[in-house]
Structure 1
């Protein structure tokens, strides 16, 4: 692609998934791609799933290193309150990126979905904020919401289970 992405454009989740797959296939621990002002770094820990950090190209390396630590601490705190078996379900809708998850379009507004709601394919389930960009997460299929595995304003990681359908 020859055009550079502006900061207002959403991150392509397919690109992030492709980079994570390359890590698995090649057994690398880190890969970085730079395209215009967009810089995507995907790294994996030897004992955990891949972690993804996003930064704009002009940003110094220090915020990139700090981002995974900031995401990891709140996730560890939330772990005891959520069902770990549900989080590992293969049929769960998973996060396509690292960011902060929001269940409603704005503070105080009704959530996009509730447990028991019937959703259509393409309907917005929640929003993930990454690099100050709000990225709507659409439903990949029709179904009834059985569980919502994240809380409002909770940091999420790439591949983390978000919603389970019946």
Structure 2
């Protein structure tokens, strides 16, 4: 999917290397997927840990528990250098706080744990279970209404963006929406073949620094729907500042600036698919100093 099938052996070797650096955690889900995603980024990027997936940050920070072995100090430093200060304030609530917020929703410690781990998703699940147990038709009909609205939203996205297919999985529901474009008529006119000329080498003519996509994925300008974009044309950005998010393999990967510059071009529309190596931004350097690779 990333257009780099010939580098599979490199990714597998990198996965073992990362596993050793983060303390030899077990490869049970989701740890295996997290390490594989980071290994792919390390192989495709210009340097290792230039981009770090959020789930690996959580693993290194101990949110998945303590690993069997020690974590490499260089990896700890890489996570520290690329951490978003605002995310450090996002601390998971304690058990007593979850119990207060549950307001009688949890009938057992297991359900309380579900609410603490999965928040609104667990609350919807428990409300649905309570509604079915009571035979509450209003509860069930509200779930159906929400699902219908969700399907309408997906159809609208496909129609407005021209995406070929969108699939969502949510609350046990799986919906695929495909666009049906009319076939393009085949022209029977003879093809004019131009005379071969000297090959031209494509190069930036404006001296701007190009930020290219390190993977195949979906480009998002904002952290979530309705939120302001990370950057606008004309903004001044610094090394390590987030420019956009690329969603690949159900993981959100931040793309950060590696120098102090002015954003001159945003080359991709929000929520559009991008290919490996595709230009995302053009930045006009202010200092010309790239962020030192970790």
So what's the TM-score if we normalise by structure 1? 0.53
Aligned length: 100
Q: Kindly tell me: are residues 123 and 107 of structure 1, through their superposed partners in 2, closer, same or farther at Cα, counting changes over 3 Å? A: same
Task: Determine which structure has more spread, i.e. the larger CA radius of gyration.
Answer: 2
Tell me if the contact between 1:119 and 1:145 (Cα under 8 Å) persists in the aligned partners: yes
Aligned-partner SS, 2:245: strand
The 1-side partners of 2:232 and 2:45 are apart by: 27
Tell me if the contact between 1:7 and 1:133 (Cα under 8 Å) persists in the aligned partners: no
The 2-side partners of 1:88 and 1:161 are apart by: 12
Return the offset for 1:140: 1.3
Higher relative strand content: 1
- Structure 1: gaps spanning 5 or more residues: 19-69, 72-86
- Deviation by residue 1:137-158 (Cα, 9 ceiling, x = unmatched): 0111110000000110010001
Equivalences for residues 75-154 of structure 1 within 5 A: 89=204, 91-154=209-272
State whether structure 2 residue 125 is matched by structure 1 residue 7: no
So what's the TM-score if we normalise by structure 2? 0.31
Return the offset for 1:96: 0.4
Return the offset for 1:17: 4.6
Q: Kindly tell me: are residues 15 and 104 of structure 1, through their superposed partners in 2, closer, same or farther at Cα, counting changes over 3 Å? A: same
Aligned-partner SS, 2:43: helix
Return the offset for 1:91: 2.7
Tell me if the contact between 1:102 and 1:126 (Cα under 8 Å) persists in the aligned partners: yes
Equivalences for residues 39-58 of structure 1 within 5 A: none
The 1-side partners of 2:209 and 2:236 are apart by: 16
Higher relative helix content: 2
- Structure 2: gaps spanning 5 or more residues: 1-15, 20-26, 47-163, 166-201, 285-294
Q: CA RMSD in A?
A: 2.6
